[in-house]
């Protein structure tokens, strides 16, 4: 091999090395960009999960309030029915007492 061929092969290897390095840099940039996008998506998902958690807590609180109101209403209705029964018994007792005289 003469010196011209060696120089030609050397330049070809140099060009091949430059092409490989350029491809690696391109892949690294793409990888970095994809990682940034994934991180942004993950942060957005975390924000949405936090918002959904707040909504869930709000719905649970509303359900508890409605449940408490229903229990209070049932209790009031039961007490009113008991008072009505007691008044009916008292009225019957008074009527029986007065009717027996």
- 3-state DSSP of 19-78: HHHHHHHHHHHHHHHHHHHHHHHHHHHHHHHHHHHHHHHHHHHHHHHHHHHHHHHHHHHH
d(CA 13, CA 19): 10
- Within a domain: 84: no
- Within a domain: 2: yes
pLDDT tens digits, one per residue of 2-42: 888 999 999 999 999 999 999 999 999 999 999 999 999 99
- Within a domain: 51: yes
d(CA 62, CA 25): 55
Q: How many domains does the chain have?
A: 1
The answer, yes or no, to whether residue 45 has pLDDT greater than 80, is yes
Q: Model's pTM, two decimal places? A: 0.56
- Within a domain: 82: no
| Domain encompassing residue 31 | 1-75
- DSSP 8-state symbol, 97: H
């Amino acid at each position: 091999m003469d010196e011209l061929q060696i120089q030609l092969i050397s330049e070809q290897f140099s060009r091949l090395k430059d092409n490989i390095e350029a491809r690696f840099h391109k892949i690294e940039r793409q990888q970095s960009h994809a990682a940034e996008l994934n991180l942004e998506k993950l942060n957005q998902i975390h924000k949405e999960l936090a918002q959904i958690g707040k909504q869930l807590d709000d719905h649970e609180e509303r359900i508890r309030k409605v449940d408490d109101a229903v229990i209070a209403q049932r209790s009031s209705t039961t007490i009113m029915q008991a008072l009505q029964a007691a008044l009916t018994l008292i009225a019957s007792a008074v009527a029986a007492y007065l009717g027996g005289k």
